[in-house]
Amino acid sequence: MSSLTIAMPKGRIFEEAADLLRQAGYRLPPEFDDSRKLILDVPEENIRFILAKPMDVTTYVEHGVADIGIAGKDVMLEEERDVYEVLDLKISACYLAVAGLPGAKITDVAPKVATKYPSVASSYFREQGEQVEIIKLNGSIELAPLIGLADRIVDIVSTGRTLKENGLVELERICNITSRLIVNPVSYRMKDLQIDELVERLSLVVDGNEEVNL
Ligand SMILES: Nc1ncnc2c1ncn2[C@@H]1O[C@H](COP(=O)(O)OP(=O)(O)OP(=O)(O)O)[C@@H](O)[C@H]1O
Ligand SMILES: O=P(O)(O)OC[C@H]1O[C@H](OP(=O)(O)OP(=O)(O)O)[C@H](O)[C@@H]1O
């Protein structure tokens, strides 16, 4: 049987995703969690893991160099890749929101919105019938309104601590985000049995965790 290649996001999703795989019975070696290697083979499971930046996971899966990936819904919405989203893993929960300084008066015809998610932000304001100018940043988005670069931001909120500590307020909630299991369409045809088994095993864990969390 040919092996499966899974693109894992480095960073904050990684640990929860690895936990989920372990709960599903996959034997991942302990060094898996703090290795600096970018390709990790687990021969006993016939799986190769590649470790990618969270924003790049969809790219590896769309190009078919990974059969499967784990990606935040935020990345899926921003990138709109040709991949199948097969399971909501219900991990790394957060949401996308519009935020700004409290009581800020916006007088510009097209107020400036700073974000790491230009496509999501443009669609959102278009749907609201609001004209805005999008400014793409790669991080520390909350800085933009404080320093006068933008009137508002579109960014991820999880605990709300970053907004609070920077004196910003949430203005509108755009959508909830969790991590998703995604699959390359060709891989799904060629390796359907292996992929179905993985999806099945992970679904049982996700459903079980949900019951525990109730
Ligand atoms: N508080 C949060 N902030 C950002 N992303 C979060 C948060 N909570 C969950 N997530 C999820 O984690 C993913 C981002 O993970 P992470 O922050 O490790 O990557 P990153 O933003 O590329 O990091 P960096 O560029 O700082 O290395 C998002 O795509 C989102 O789905
Ligand atoms: O509501 P909170 O729990 O405070 O989390 C939200 C913050 O976390 C993320 O930033 P991250 O830590 O990834 O740093 P970045 O600004 O470099 O993207 C996100 O962009 C927010 O700034």
Q: What is the CATH number of the domain that holds 209?
A: 3.40.190.10
Domain co-membership, 11 together with 75 = yes
DSSP string, 27-44: ---GGGTT---SEEEEGG
**Residue 145 to residues 47, 136, 170, Cα–Cα distance (Å):** 45, 13, 13
Domain co-membership, 128 together with 162 = yes
Instruction: Return the structure tokens found at 197.
Output: 């088994």
pLDDT for position 1: 72
Of 182, 192, 199, 191, the residue nearest 63 (C-alpha): 182
Domain co-membership, 28 together with 53 = yes
**Nearest ligand, measured from the Cα of 137:** 2
Using one digit for the tens of pLDDT, what is the confidence trace for 114-157? 999 999 999 999 999 999 999 999 999 999 999 999 999 999 99
Instruction: Name the band, by pLDDT with cuts 50, 70 and 90, for residue 212.
Output: low
Mean pLDDT of all residues in 162-178: 98
Measured between alpha carbons, how far is 117 from 135 in angstroms, rounded to an integer? Answer: 10
Domain co-membership, 172 together with 184 = no
Domain co-membership, 13 together with 35 = yes
Please give the tally of structural domains in the chain.
Answer: 2
**Complex ipTM:** 0.96
The answer to whether residues 170 and 97 touch, using CB atoms and an 8 Å cutoff, is: yes
Instruction: Name the band, by pLDDT with cuts 50, 70 and 90, for residue 35.
Output: confident
3-class secondary-structure state, position 95: strand
The answer on pLDDT for 165 being more than 70 is yes
Query: Half-sphere exposure of 76 toward its Cβ, with a 13 Å CA cutoff?
Result: 22
Which among 95, 155, 163 is the best mutation to test ligand 2's pocket, defined by most ligand atoms within 8 Å of the CB? 155
Domain co-membership, 23 together with 85 = yes
Between the CA of 69 and the centroid of ligand 1 the distance, in Å, is 15
Domain co-membership, 43 together with 20 = yes
Using one digit for the tens of pLDDT, what is the confidence trace for 57-92? 999 999 999 999 999 999 999 999 999 999 999 999
Mean pLDDT of all residues in 97-123: 93
The answer to whether residues 87 and 199 touch, using CB atoms and an 8 Å cutoff, is: yes
Q: Which of 11-20, 30-39, 168-177 has the lowest mean pLDDT?
A: 30-39
Share of the chain above pLDDT 90, in %: 88
Measured between alpha carbons, how far is 126 from 128 in angstroms, rounded to an integer? Answer: 5
Domain co-membership, 127 together with 172 = yes
Instruction: Name the band, by pLDDT with cuts 50, 70 and 90, for residue 2.
Output: confident
Is residue 29 in contact with ligand 2, taking CB distance under 6 Å?
no
Domain co-membership, 152 together with 185 = no
Q: What is the phi-psi region of residue 128: left when phi exceeds 0, alpha when psi lies from -120 to 50, beta otherwise?
A: alpha
Rounded to two decimals, the pTM is 0.94
Measured between alpha carbons, how far is 175 from 25 in angstroms, rounded to an integer? Answer: 32
Using one digit for the tens of pLDDT, what is the confidence trace for 179-198? 999 999 999 999 999 999 99
**Residue 162 to residues 11, 71, 140, 157, Cα–Cα distance (Å):** 18, 23, 9, 8
Quote the mean pLDDT of the chain: 95
Domain co-membership, 103 together with 117 = yes
Identify the domain containing residue 25 by its residue range.
Answer: 4-92+178-213
Is residue 167 in contact with ligand 2, taking CB distance under 6 Å?
no
Between the CA of 157 and the centroid of ligand 2 the distance, in Å, is 7
Domain co-membership, 19 together with 57 = yes
Provide CB contacts within 8 A for 141, sequence distance 6+: 114, 115, 116, 153, 154, 155
Domain co-membership, 141 together with 98 = yes
